[in-house]
A and B are shown apart, each in its own frame.
Chain A
Amino acid sequence: MSIEEINEKVRNFLVEDLEIEEEKIEGGARLKEDLGIDSLEVVDVVVLVEDQFGYKMKPEDFKEIQTLDQFCKFIQDHIA
Chain B
Amino acid sequence: MKPFEDIDMDLLLPQQPPFRFVDVLDSYSQENTVVHFTVGTGHMLMDGEELSAAGLLEHMAQACAVRTGYYTRFVLHLPPGIGYIGQVKKYSISRLPRRGEKLTTTVLLVQDFFNVSMTDVQVRVGEELIASASLKTAQASK
A residues sitting closer than 8 Å to B (CB atoms) are 39-40, 42-44, 46-47, 50, 57, 59
Q: How many A-B pairs with Cβ below 8 Å?
A: 27
Instruction: A40-B116, A40-B138, A43-B113 given; name 10 further pairs at CB < 8 Å.
Output: A39-B114, A40-B86, A43-B117, A43-B136, A44-B118, A47-B110, A47-B111, A50-B111, A57-B113, A59-B113
Q: Which residues of A contact B136 (CB under 8 A)?
A: 40, 43
Q: B114 near A59 (CB under 8 angstroms)?
A: yes
**Residues of B108-133 whose CB lies within 8 A of A:** 110-111, 113-114, 116-118
Query: Is A40 touching B87 in the complex (CB atoms < 8 A)?
Result: yes
**Residues on B with beta carbons closer than 8 Å to the beta carbon of A59:** 113-114
- Bound-state Cα–Cα, A55 to B134, Å: 22
Q: Are A47 and B118 in contact (CB under 8 A)?
A: yes
